[in-house]
Amino acid sequence: MDEKGGAASTPRLSTVARSLAALTLAGLAASPAYAQSNVTLYGSLDGGLRNLVNGTKAGGAALTMASNGVYNSNRWGFLGKEDLGGGYYVRFNLEAGYVLSTGALNNTNNQIFQRTSVVGIGGPFGQIDMGRQFTLQHYVVKDFEPFDFQYLSITESTAISGGDTGRDSNAINYRGIFGPWVVRGTYALGGVPGSVANGSTLAGGLNYRTETFKLGAAYTHRSNPLTATSSQYFGSDQYTAGGAVTVGPVDLMGGYSLVLQDVPSTLHSQTRNQYLWGGARYQVTPFFNVTAAYYDNKNKTNGLDGRKDVAILGVVYLLSKRTQLYADVDYTHFTGVYVTNATLNPSGHSKQTGVSAGINHWF
pTM of the model: 0.84
DSSP string, 53-84: ET-STTS--EEE--TT-SSS--EEEEEEEEEE
CA distance 287 to 322: 12
Which sequence spans correspond to the domains of the chain? 34-362
Three-state DSSP at 37 gives strand
Q: Which ranges in 172-270 belong to alpha helices (H)?
A: none
Distance (Å, whole) CA 11 – CA 92? 48
Q: Are residues 134 and 117 in contact, defined by beta-carbon separation less than 8 angstroms? A: no
Phi-psi region of 126 (alpha: psi -120 to 50; beta: other; left: phi over 0): left
Q: 75 vs 136, 237, 363, CA distance in Å?
A: 21, 31, 10
Full pLDDT tens readout for the chain, 363 residues? 444 444 444 343 344 344 434 434 344 344 444 557 899 999 999 999 999 999 888 877 788 887 788 999 999 999 999 999 999 999 999 999 999 988 888 887 888 999 999 999 999 999 999 999 999 999 999 999 999 999 999 999 999 999 889 999 999 999 999 999 999 999 999 877 777 788 899 999 999 999 999 999 999 999 887 666 566 678 899 999 999 999 999 999 999 999 998 877 655 678 899 999 999 999 999 999 999 999 999 999 888 899 999 999 999 999 999 999 999 999 999 999 999 998 889 999 999 999 999 999 999
CATH fold for domain 34-362: Porin (2.40.160)
Cα-based angle 198, 199, 201 (whole degrees, multiple of 5)? 110
